[in-house]
Structure 1
Amino acid sequence: MRSIYLRITQPVIKLMLALTWSLASLQAAQAGETPIPVEKFFKSAQFKDAQLSPNAELIAFLAADNDNRSMLVIMNSKGDATPTVITRYSNLDVIFFHWVNNERLVYGISEKDLGAGEKNSGSGLFAIDKDGKNSRQLIDRFVKAGAPKFRLLPARTRFISTTGNESSDDIYVGQNSTERMNAGINLFRLNTRTGQTEIVAVPPHSIDFLFDPSGQVRIATASKNGITSVHYKENKNTEWVQLYQFDDTVEDGYSPVFIGTSGQFYVTARNGKDTAALYQYDTKSKSLIPNPLLALNGFDFDGDILFDNQQNKLAGIRYETDAHASVWFDEKDKKIQSQIDALLPNMVNLVDKGRSQDANVRLVKSFSDTHPGNYSLFNVDTSKLTQLGVVNPDIDPAKMAYRDSVRYKARDGLEIPAYITLPKGRPAKNLPLIVMVHGGPFLRGGHWNWTPAVQFLASRGYAVIEPDFRGSTGYGKKLHQAGWKQWGLAMQDDLADAREWAIKQGYADPKRVCIAGASYGGYAVLMGLIKEPDLYRCGISWVGVSDINLLYDVSWSDTAGNAWTKYGMPKLIGDQQKDAEQLQRTSPLQQASRLKNPLILAYGGADVRVPLIHGTKFYDAVKAHNSKVEWIVYPEEAHGWGLLKNNVDFWTRVEKFLDENTAVK
């Protein structure tokens, strides 16, 4: 198989649009146009999740009706017929769906007008034919005592995957085992017409699965006592065989990506390198095939296999560096991608042809840093592109700010990736700056896409820098491991160094810098104001951790008592006993008396990831000596704001708060 090694030293998407700002746009900004209303940034998607049927003859998607309720709609892929609503609710929303085969779909429902703490039911699962007939409920929405309804699975059951078999009405569903520690998923095969289920034998403590294109489960990933193991099944009549196991906080394991019908198994692996690449794994010899299929300079591989089921071979690879992109192996597919990219320049264009390799239509999902996204149909025969729908029609991309990928050196020489967004229509010099800190923190924070909060802040004249500080994933092992046990220490220094970089570039006014973030980002805001109060005029912390020990001790947290608390947190954040002194020293709660700067402190009353006690304890400790703390609680929200009214309220408060605190005095 052909091996591709990509060396990417410049952004995948050339953001040359930054050089084409019109004089009219600049003059309008300087003239003080009315700001874009805050609600336009945070309203729910009006069109989303378009999916081709397996034979590529139909398209299904979610669209908002006149009451802003999300409904499931189908139309033919020629785009020459009126779309048909196959299911809608007057007081509920369809929140996800999947094609089961060419005739049938499954979907789940919820009520997006309720906060997480107000909901007393799950999404359930329902099946329906493409013409809206033969509807059947498969999973209950309500947790209740007593015997379940006939062939209705309990609410704790969730959708896992379709089979991919066009002649099958089956799907896979799972139920989490009742164990708190080392919990796994019990897997079932469910018929969407009869409601009958069949238990699927999987290794104990399995938490993830790969299904081949014929619909058979072939790979199972299990986790027990902090050790990850990956298991392989040759076919439905053979036993599971362990391929490998590893402790991912110590060893470089292999992460499953895709398995083909003939057992072509693809994984990500470091293989002695800093960044993880895409490899093929030989299940017979239980070894990695040495040459990578795709390696990315400065980035771990993160993407999808595009597989040609008819020819049983790799058709292409979708991946992300500083932006998403695709590589195709067939000349026809390469040509189609280039035609679409020419029609939709300066956009990421993700092309889907369904499972039918000979289909003459392609579904295209497009987005950019200035565009929330749209869906289009490309006719291969005519080279014509027809728009299907826009994710957020209230957003004018011409008025949005550009987002560039950059890298800066931390004080110890470590290279830190970041995204910088500069407000549209004004000189990029001496701007008020927001250091935006992502949550996690052990994940990738920045992506080249349209982000409501960042664009809102940019629309109000703020530059925003989003560092993927040490500890972040996606950029190699060195950056990730450099953040272990560095909460409030070197991780915090990286944020200060991002501020310094923006000032040296001339973008930021050193007297008008604020720090903002949620979850871990909220923790970093509190520590930043405590540790380096002269660097930041103010802080905005929401759903933030206020004390590392509370992450261990609060019993009603959704992470309390599980494997992450026992095996992950001691290695990555700090051990309560061995690192007790450090955890005290890097606890905002223990040093609350040092925080003097203006602060927004906001929490969700129904949050079980960072429970409200993180906020109440810190607010009680800080308010006696700091009258410049704005305390906000949204009782119905969980770990972040899901409701439009609360987003509008919060970001309106943020706008006023920043206006008051970033003027030079």
Structure 2
Amino acid sequence: MKNLVLASAGWIALGIAAPAAAQQLDNPAEAFGQRPAVSAIALSPSGSRVTYLGPGPGEETRAYVADVTGGRSSIVSVSDGDPMELDWCRFVNEERLVCSVSALMRAELQIYPVNRLFAIDDDSSDARSLGQRDNIFRRNRQFEGSIVDWLPDDDDRITMSRTYVPEQNRGATRVVDNAEGLGVVLIDTRTGRTERIEPPVRQNVRFLSDGYGTVRMKATISRRGATGMAGETINYYYRTADSDEWREFGSYNMVDDTGFYPLVVDRALNAVYGLEKHDGRDALFRITLNDTLDRELIYAHPEVDVSRLLRLGRAQRVIGVGYSEDENIVAYFDPEYEALHEALSNALPGNPEIIFLDASDDESRLLVRAVGPTNPGRYYVFHKATGALNEILLARPALEGVTLAEVRPVRYPAADGTMIPGYLTLPPGSDGENLPAIVLPHGGPEWRTFLSFDWLAQFFAHQGYAVLQPNFRGSYGYGEDWLVENGFQSWATAIGDVNDGARWLVSEGIANADQLAAVGWSYGGYAALQSGVLEPGLFKAIVAIAPVTDLPALRQDAMAFFGGRNIAEYLGTGPHILAGSPARHADRINAPVLLFHGDQDINVDIGHARRMHDRLTDVGRPSELIVFEGLNHYLTDSDARTRMLERSDAFLRAALGLGNPS
């Protein structure tokens, strides 16, 4: 169906499918548990094609290329998740792509991540590794590197940071490659020929260039003694436009989030955009890369943190700055895009987020995503010359035509009177009264929930539960005061806010006090468990997915990694460490507990779930642990997610005394 919509930017022709008729789901867990059909999508330089990732069976991920006019998608590459997994692909030119893969590897008792970059043609031919050449004299490198520039003026080459590992003794030969550390190379993605732009140095951790191949900034980090652990401070250096000399720029502290954090260099302005605190909140500054480092405040919000820059195309041109109130919002620097965003918002009502994801090199074609609480995501290509907006892909086709639950922002009082922001999702068609209810705290802990589509909340609402997602103190986005120390050091405040949300649901008549449950993933799983420690009996059932359960163990786990000491400092020391470990207080939890965990989780070791289950069992509390073999923290397997949703719903219904859904 095609409609013409008059908007502020002119006529926009919509090429979209007619809305599907409302449908009932035979297996809601399967429909909501499916991995998104589209992720990591990008536009070709001409704007005539897209590449994206989609799920295959099990852990398989497929990279596709498709014509935006409706041609069939073709598979370019496939990863089976055992162990390699595709992360993203982007176009170097119309026929060639660069892709990133990562894996979890095991060495003795430790699991650690690796990444690799490769180039490949759109017909799956001429694949070529972009990393340092392997040989028997060189130990395995963990990280290959990352793309620095896509070079819009060059159709075969890119610049990338590359990790170099030195060769060991070759025996009689004197020809030994001693290069070590992170450097930058210009690499031909077809031939593999490289030109070294920045020499590798062991302390280097990051480079920023001007979008066209000239490196303007670098970051270094100190290492602590013989342990090789990372220090907490990143030191930045810069070059002026007419010099190769490195000059001191400033530093950024990773633990307490102080200092200027560079995001992108703007060649036209000879300046770097970055985030720094302003009146207690992250704000966007621009610093000219000259002798005096002239500084300008570009954008600050009086209530929330600035969180991101909006960039387009291979040159990554900056067109706006993003922040989140209840919705994700962009303040546009470019008036053309501000007007176009308004026009698209009018043409696609009911979608709080209209996002410009990518652009052709000349910006005549734009890749657009529309998403909202009841829209899992639709992808379009917009043609500026004709005003045509053509729908090309759906993020979750299994939910097309399904009535999804409305979500509304709420504020509720904590025990000390502080108003806690959150989101309430009510079952479709319900009157919002006396419902079984779930409090669903987010992970992180320094993350936050947004007014957008959430597959977990929508599944549980579809099954008849009211769902409250609180942005408790310790959540990111509301300024440094809201972060308190953090969700672990200030767990009593954060978990108190979660529990106060449950009481608010009851006081408002939304929830039945005898049918309250806590469900969470990662830190959210920790919060669900610790809520039962803080106030036994408030929740009648607890579901924890990949949860932290023991803070001393979390500290010890972190020490196996490069930034481990920073995690230790983040956790802090003192009585909160033991008091804030639910596995140490299993006897206080009165509710039955259901645990899920992947055994290849490097974010939170599976030992946390096993420890929690064992200690609950030891003190006679009902506990069930389901282990997903070979899966990571995110359970990137549709079948596993389906099983998790099915078992969670059955567990909650039994624990809360509910019947089967109608």
TM-score with structure 1 setting the length = 0.81
1:316 pairs with 2:320: yes
1:99 pairs with 2:82: no
How many equivalent pairs are there?
607
**Whole-Å separation in 2 of the counterparts to 1:34 and 1:75:** 29
SS of residue in 2 equivalent to 1:424:
coil
1:532 to partner: Cα distance: 0.5
Q: 1:426 to 1:184 in 2, by over 3 A?
A: farther
Q: Would you say the 8 A contact 2:587–2:621 is kept in 1?
A: no
1:62 to partner: Cα distance: 3.7
Q: Which residue of 1 aligns with 2:356?
A: 351
- The Cα offsets for residues 619-640 of structure 1, whole Å up to 9 and x where unpaired, read as 2222133252112222322324
Q: Which residue of 2 aligns with 1:414?
A: 418
1:36 to partner: Cα distance: 4.6
1:301 pairs with 2:299: no
1:265 pairs with 2:252: no
Q: Which residue of 1 aligns with 2:636?
A: 642
Candidates 188, 191, 199, aligned match of 1:194:
191
**Whole-Å separation in 1 of the counterparts to 2:79 and 2:515:** 48
Q: Which residue of 1 aligns with 2:150?
A: 163
* 1:395-474 equivalent positions in 2, closer than 5 A: 395-396=399-400, 398-441=402-445, 443-474=446-477
1:75 to partner: Cα distance: 4.6
Q: Which residue of 2 aligns with 1:85?
A: 74
Q: Which residue of 2 aligns with 1:610?
A: 604
**Whole-Å separation in 2 of the counterparts to 1:495 and 1:390:** 34
* 1:531-570 equivalent positions in 2, closer than 5 A: 531-553=534-556, 557=557, 559-562=558-561, 564-570=563-569
Gaps of 5+ in 1: 1-23
1:626 pairs with 2:631: no
Report which stretch shifted further, 329-338 or 425-434.
329-338
Q: Which residue of 2 aligns with 1:14?
A: none
**Whole-Å separation in 2 of the counterparts to 1:165 and 1:85:** 25
1:467 to partner: Cα distance: 1.6
Q: Which residue of 1 aligns with 2:502?
A: 499
**Whole-Å separation in 1 of the counterparts to 2:301 and 2:370:** 22
Q: Would you say the 8 A contact 1:483–1:490 is kept in 2?
A: no
Q: Which residue of 1 aligns with 2:287?
A: 281
Report which stretch shifted further, 68-77 or 599-608.
68-77
Candidates 483, 501, 525, aligned match of 2:486:
483
**Whole-Å separation in 2 of the counterparts to 1:164 and 1:156:** 22
SS of residue in 1 equivalent to 2:300:
strand
Q: 1:505 to 1:206 in 2, by over 3 A?
A: farther
Q: Which residue of 1 aligns with 2:130?
A: 138
1:507 to partner: Cα distance: 1.9
Report which stretch shifted further, 292-301 or 242-251.
242-251
Identity %: 24
1:296 to partner: Cα distance: 2.5
1:652 pairs with 2:646: yes
1:569 to partner: Cα distance: 3.1
- The Cα offsets for residues 480-526 of structure 1, whole Å up to 9 and x where unpaired, read as 13536535411211111121222333322222111121222222222
Q: 1:352 to 1:469 in 2, by over 3 A?
A: closer
**Whole-Å separation in 2 of the counterparts to 1:611 and 1:63:** 27
SS of residue in 2 equivalent to 1:529:
helix
Q: 1:646 to 1:48 in 2, by over 3 A?
A: closer
Q: Which residue of 1 aligns with 2:163?
A: 175
Q: Would you say the 8 A contact 2:42–2:52 is kept in 1?
A: yes
Q: 1:486 to 1:395 in 2, by over 3 A?
A: same
TM-score with structure 2 setting the length = 0.81
Q: Which residue of 2 aligns with 1:238?
A: 244
Candidates 211, 215, 218, aligned match of 1:217:
215
RMSD: 3.7
Q: Which residue of 1 aligns with 2:337?
A: 333
SS of residue in 1 equivalent to 2:440:
strand
**Whole-Å separation in 1 of the counterparts to 2:419 and 2:205:** 34
Q: Would you say the 8 A contact 1:41–1:395 is kept in 2?
A: yes
**Whole-Å separation in 1 of the counterparts to 2:486 and 2:417:** 14
Q: Would you say the 8 A contact 2:188–2:194 is kept in 1?
A: yes
1:188 to partner: Cα distance: 4.0
**Whole-Å separation in 1 of the counterparts to 2:181 and 2:584:** 37
**Whole-Å separation in 2 of the counterparts to 1:66 and 1:276:** 41
**Whole-Å separation in 2 of the counterparts to 1:611 and 1:654:** 21
